[in-house]
Amino acid sequence: MTRISSFSLAALTLSCAALFASSAMALTTEQTRALTLGETDARITALQQALASPDEKTAAFMQAMADDAVKVNGTHVLIVRDGKASDPVTGEAQALPEAAEDVINNNRMRGEIDAALAALQLLSPDAALRLAATKAMLKEPDPTKLAMLDKALATEQNAGVKTQMLLARAAVMLNSTDPKVRLAAAKALADSQTPDTQLLLNQRLSEEQDKPVRSQLEASLSTIQAALNWGEKLGALFTGISLGSILLLVALGLAITYGLMGVINMAHGELMMIGAYATYVVQGLFRQYLPGMFDAYLLVAVPASFLAAALVGAVLERLVLRHLYGRPLETLLATWGISLGLMQGVRSVFGAQNVGVENPSWMSGGVQLLANLSLPYNRLVIIGFALFVLVGMTLLISKTRLGLFVRGVTQNRPMASALGVNTARIDTYAFSLGCGIAGLAGCALSQIGNVGPDLGQNYIVDAFMVVVLGGVGQLAGTVYAAMGLGLMNKLLEGVAGAVLAKIAVLVFIIVFIQKRPQGLFAMKGRSAEA
C-alpha cells in the first residue's frame, strides 16, 4: 500500500492549515464517526464529503486511517500511536479503553483512502508533489476531487504545475452532462499528449453521441497520435544510437587486435567481462571503505577496467599468441579455449550468478523530452564515453610514437624491424591496447545491465560483424558500421521483431560482403597488397 512520508504529511498539514484557516468547515466528530463506522459505501461517501473542504486535521486523520492507527470504543473515535490515544478533532490526549477496537478497512476502502491522500498532495507546498498528484489525477480523473482541484488551482503559482492542473480539470469535465463543457475539455486535452489521455479520449469517444463533441474528440486523438508517433520514432532512433555506441566500444578493441594485427581473438568478449568485473570490484571497495564518495567510483573504475583487461591481454600475447602469428586457425582455437578458461575462472571467484553494478546517483533518471520519450542518463553518458574513447584512440594511433610504430609494424613488419623497431614489444603494446579498450566496453556495459560470466558472449559476434563490415583496419569504417548496425537493428525490431531483425541484419551483411569483400572502407598501402 502506498504511504506518504512523515515529511510529506507535515508539509500537507501546513499547507492545509494556511489554505483553510479562514474556512468555517473543519473535521467534526460526526465526520470521524461516518468515516470509521457503518457500511463501506456510506464511509466512502463521507470520505468524499470530507475532501470537499479539507483541513489539516482531515489530512492527519486520513493518514491515521491509512496507517491503521484508528480505534473506536462504541461511537468514540480515537487516534492511537505508540500506545497513546488522542481525539482526532481536538487533538487532546485521551485514555485508551481496553475495549477499544481497530477500525477495519477492506481493500476498497484502503484504495479510496490512498487516493484521497494522493489528492491532498495537490495542496502541498512542494511543487514536485503537487505535480505528481496532478498527473495521477489526469491519469484517473475523479469528479469527487474536483472541488479540491479548483481550490488548488486558485492558489497555484507555478506555471508548469498550473498547466497540468488545467489539463486534469479538463479530464474530469470530459464526462460532464453539458456538451459544451465536454467539447471544451476535449479541445483542451489535445495539449496533453500522453497515452493515458489518449485512452481517456477513446473511452469518451466510444460513448459520445453529440456530433460536434465526437468531431473534436477525433481531432484531439489525431493530434495526440501524431505526437506519440514522433516520440516512438525518436525513441527508436535514440535506442539505435545507444546500441551503436555500445557496439562501437566493443568493436574498437577488435579494430586493433583483428583489424590491424590480424589476430582472431575469440576471447575478446571475456576481456570485456573482466573490465565489467573490475568495475564491480571497485564499486565494492568504495561501498565498504569510501561510502561517502560512492558517486565518484566510476572515476576509478574506468582506468581500473582498462588496466585489468590490458594486463590479461599482455599475458595472453606473451605466453600464447606470440607463437601463433600467421596461423589464424590455431589462433582462433587457442583464444576460444582461453575464453572458456576465463569464464570458468570468473565463476570460481565470483560465482555463476550475475552480480549487480549500481549507477552513481548522477547517472540515475533521465531527460523527459516527450510524454513517451525519455533519454536515460546512463545511456547518454555511454554515448559520450564511446565518442571520448573513439577520439582518444584515433589520436593515439595517428598522432603518437606508439601509434606510428603500430601502423609501421602492421603494414611492413620486416622494414619496421630493419629500422630498429622492437616489433615483439609493439605487438604486446598493440594487443594490450585492444584488450584494454574491451575492458572499457565492459565498464560501460556494467552501467546498463547485470554483470555475469557470459557477458561477452552477447556481443562478440556483433563486434566481429562491425569490424568486417566497416573494413579491416579502418577506424572510420568501424564507426559507420557500428552506428549503421545499431540503427538497423532497432528500426527493424519495431517492424519485424527482435529475432527477424537479427536475421535480416545478418543476411544484409553476408550479401554486402559478397559484393564488397573489403568492407565499407578498403585498406590502403602495402598491407592491402600482402
Encode pLDDT of 304-363 as tens digits: 999 999 999 999 999 988 888 778 888 888 989 999 999 999 999 998 889 988 889 898
How many Å apart are CA 494 and CA 471, to the nearest integer? 28
- Reported confidence tier of residue 232, pLDDT bands at 50, 70, 90: confident
What are the pLDDT digits (tens) for 365-400?
Answer: 888 887 778 889 999 999 999 999 999 988 988 888
pLDDT value at residue 306: 95
CB atoms within 10 A of CB 2: 11
Helix, strand, or coil (residue 78):
strand
How many Å apart are CA 177 and CA 208, to the nearest integer? 11
Half-sphere exposure of 202 (CA within 13 A, CB side): 9
First to last CA, the chain: 70
86 has pLDDT over 60 = yes
- Reported confidence tier of residue 440, pLDDT bands at 50, 70, 90: very high
10 has pLDDT over 60 = no
Residue with cell 598522432: 399
Residue 489: partners with Cβ closer than 8 Å, 6 or more residues away: 240, 243, 501, 502, 505
How many Å apart are CA 403 and CA 40, to the nearest integer? 78
Query: Which grid coordinates belong to 502?
Result: 537479427
Residue with cell 564488397: 516
What are the pLDDT digits (tens) for 484-525?
Answer: 888 888 878 777 777 787 788 788 888 887 777 777 765 554
199 has pLDDT over 60 = yes
Q: Tell me, what amino acid is at 90?
A: T
How many Å apart are CA 444 and CA 298, to the nearest integer? 10
- Residues 270 and 399 sit within 8 Å (Cβ to Cβ): no
Half-sphere exposure of 100 (CA within 13 A, CB side): 19
How many Å apart are CA 185 and CA 199, to the nearest integer? 15
530 has pLDDT over 50 = no
Q: What is the mean pLDDT of residues 113-136?
A: 81
pTM above 0.85, yes or no: no
How many Å apart are CA 129 and CA 59, to the nearest integer? 15
Determine what percent of the chain is predicted with pLDDT higher than 90: 18
- Residues 441 and 271 sit within 8 Å (Cβ to Cβ): no
Residue 39: burial class (beta carbons within 10 Å; 0-12, 13-18, 19+): exposed
How many Å apart are CA 252 and CA 390, to the nearest integer? 8
Longest dimension (CA), the chain: 104
Determine what percent of the chain is predicted with pLDDT higher than 70: 92
Closest CA to 309 of 273, 284, 339: 273
- Residues 258 and 466 sit within 8 Å (Cβ to Cβ): no
CATH tag, 235-529: 1.10.3470
Query: Which grid coordinates belong to 259?
Result: 583489424
Domain boundary assignment for the chain: 6-125, 235-529
What are the pLDDT digits (tens) for 49-64?
Answer: 877 777 778 878 888 8
- Residues 127 and 96 sit within 8 Å (Cβ to Cβ): no
Please give the DSSP secondary-structure letter assigned to residue 265: -
Q: Tell me, what amino acid is at 393?
A: M
How many Å apart are CA 162 and CA 139, to the nearest integer? 16
What are the pLDDT digits (tens) for 147-192?
Answer: 778 888 888 888 888 888 888 888 888 888 888 988 998 898 888 8
Measured in whole angstroms, the distance separating CA 337 from the mean position of its chain's CA atoms is: 36
pLDDT value at residue 524: 54
pLDDT value at residue 127: 84
How many Å apart are CA 26 and CA 49, to the nearest integer? 11
Pairing mode of beta strands 84-86, 76-81: antiparallel
26 has pLDDT over 90 = no
CA-CA-CA-CA torsion sign (125, 127, 133, 137)? positive
- Give the helix/strand (H/E) hosting 479: helix 475-496
17 has pLDDT over 50 = no
CA distances (Å), origin 469, targets 27, 403, 474 = 73, 23, 10
For the chain, how are helix, strand and coil distributed in percent, rounded to 5? 70, 5, 25
Please give the DSSP secondary-structure letter assigned to residue 110: H
How many Å apart are CA 339 and CA 344, to the nearest integer? 9
- Reported confidence tier of residue 437, pLDDT bands at 50, 70, 90: very high
- Reported confidence tier of residue 289, pLDDT bands at 50, 70, 90: very high
pLDDT value at residue 242: 87
Query: Which grid coordinates belong to 520?
Result: 565499407
Q: Tell me, what amino acid is at 450?
A: N
- Residues 273 and 343 sit within 8 Å (Cβ to Cβ): yes
Q: What is the mean pLDDT of residues 263-291?
A: 91
- Reported confidence tier of residue 1, pLDDT bands at 50, 70, 90: very low
299 has pLDDT over 50 = yes
CA-CA-CA-CA torsion sign (459, 465, 466, 467)? positive
Residue 527: partners with Cβ closer than 8 Å, 6 or more residues away: 410, 411, 412, 473
Q: Helix axis angle, 195-207 relative to 179-188, nearest 10°?
A: 150
Instruction: Name the least confident of 82-91, 299-308, 463-472.
Output: 463-472
What's the whole-number average pLDDT of the chain?
83
241 has pLDDT over 80 = yes
